[in-house]
Structure 1
Amino acid sequence: MKIHLISLVIGALALGGAACSKEAPGAGKGATEQAAGAAQAPANAAHAPKDVKPGSHEDWCGEHGVPESQCSRCNPELIPAFKATGDWCAEHGLPESQCLKCNPDLKIVRPPKES
């Protein structure tokens, strides 16, 4: 199931670019919950470059504190893939796997740098 989701996410990214600073419709409070995760990224690197490997340290959305390749707020074209796999919080407008309101113990950790 996770492999299928990852394939959908990678495919969706191949079709669209990673751009943001605007909230996806219905995201509302979602970005606020990610503030703690956003602090983990360097202030000058809010978004990952387009050519980074998904799941790598560089694949990080500093604005929302989640992997850039899975950031539905920066990449709203990913929303149907999250919904199709049942990973969607309709109340907060973001993936359930990223919803800190519904899952306050959730820890989204940036992968370590590879040496």
Structure 2
Amino acid sequence: VAFDLSDKELFCVEEQELFDQIYSFVKGFPHLLPPSKITLVESLRSNFSVLIPNISCLSRSPEEAGALSAPDRLASYLNAFKIYTYFLLSIVLIEELGSANQASRAPASSHQK
């Protein structure tokens, strides 16, 4: 998945197969090994950070859109932006929930004399 995210167009996340794979990893994020977590988050973050200036540039100069018409390409980039945002925020919420659950399970320290 990380290879696909780095090797393909920024809006590849719209492809159903890749979306489904990423969704599965995000949903099972607490069960991933730490290196896999880092790779997934870094891949999503990297594409997200590259996507933002592309959207800005495309919205200012739509004649540089390329093969797709300017409105179609901009719509695709904005949709990819929403998808990356959803995945990254989902990971943040999953991690915060996991941290809150661990904190609530921590045994209260008892002071004995």
TM-score, normalised to structure 2, is 0.22
Return the index of the structure with the highest Cα Rg.
2
- Greater relative CO (CA pairs within 8 A, separation 6+): 2
TM-score after normalising by structure 1: 0.22
